[in-house]
Amino acid sequence: MPDPAAPDRLREVRGVVLDMDGTLVLGDRNNKGLAPLPGAAELLTTLEDLAIPFCLFTNGTTRTPEQYADTLQAAGLPVTPERMLTPTSAALDLFLELGYRRVMVLGGKGITEPLEAAGIETLPPLRGTQCDAVMAGWYRQELTFDALEAAVFAVFDGAAMYSASQSLFFATAEGRSLGTSRAISAVVRDITGCEVTVVGKPSLRALQTAARRLGLSPADLAVVGDDPELEVPMAHAGGATAVAVHTGIGSAESFSDLPVELRPHLDLPDVGVLARLLRSARD
């Protein structure tokens, strides 16, 4: 059953954090060929019309936030670069806070370019490299045993281990596709026994990064997504309003089978329904 307090929660929402893949768009397993999902353009227009601040947070790291925004614009969705966040956005805040200067990256330019722009040196996964941290992101075609070995020995030598995501899968037009961050960090953790810090969703740090970008507190936000293991638990962790949609990983059964206290406040077919509910709640 829907949360009876959901309409009141929608009226009180001051900002919105949106997932990308499976919520607003779907692409192929290489995160290309993005096409808008039903209601995506309607929701973005509604948020603009109602002057509700919003941002997108994707767990993808194949592109920089600016490149993701360009790709979404090409798909017909008006998303500006300042509204785009990735796990690298949250990692950057954390690395600067901790004073990290050298980071080994198992990933591409979606990680290295933002870190380098902030003055953090990024290093390829080569055995014997001295670094403060290792970060795993999207690293599909490039992944080799030598790269895994370099990450393992960097952690043995004292580097901290970070992962963009611990999701098993992400949504594509071809169905579920295996994420690389979890696979890489699982190997490193299994061999070294290290702790893996997740900087993407569903970590509270990811939600806090989005809240700072919007100038709000996490409790002021609605978090919208398709994965029962990502956006909904992240929203609950920060006291935000959790909104689930069924256009990606999760189905209606995926969310209704969750423990009562972890279910979404709103469980909807797609983001177009959310757009209409927001308009109705603000009338």
Cα angle vertex 113, ends 181, 122, to 5°? 70
Residue 29 is predicted with a pLDDT of 64
Full set of structural domains in the chain with CATH:
6-86+212-282 (3.40.50.1000), 88-198 (3.40.50.1000)
Q: If the chain, 283 residues long, is cut into consecutive pieces of 10 residues, what is the mean pLDDT of each piece?
A: 73 96 84 87 97 96 95 95 98 97 97 98 97 96 96 98 88 75 96 98 97 98 95 96 93 84 92 95 83
Cα angle vertex 161, ends 159, 164, to 5°? 145
Instruction: Give the number of other Cβ atoms within 10 Å of residue 118's Cβ.
Output: 12
Residue 31 is predicted with a pLDDT of 63
Residue 2 is predicted with a pLDDT of 54
- Strands 35-36 and 25-26, how do they pair? antiparallel
151 near 125, Cβ under 8 Å?
Answer: yes
Task: Count Cα neighbours of 72 within 13 Å in the Cβ-side half-sphere.
Answer: 29
29 near 178, Cβ under 8 Å?
Answer: no
168: tokens are 């098993």
Q: Give CA–CA dist 105/103, Å, rounded.
A: 6
Give the burial class of 257: count Cβ atoms within 10 A of its Cβ; 0-12 exposed, 13-18 middle, 19 or more buried: exposed
150: tokens are 């370099």
- Strands 54-57 and 15-18, how do they pair? parallel
Bridge partners of 21? 25
113 three-state secondary structure: helix
Residue 153 is predicted with a pLDDT of 98
Mean per-residue pLDDT of the chain: 93
Residue 30 is predicted with a pLDDT of 61
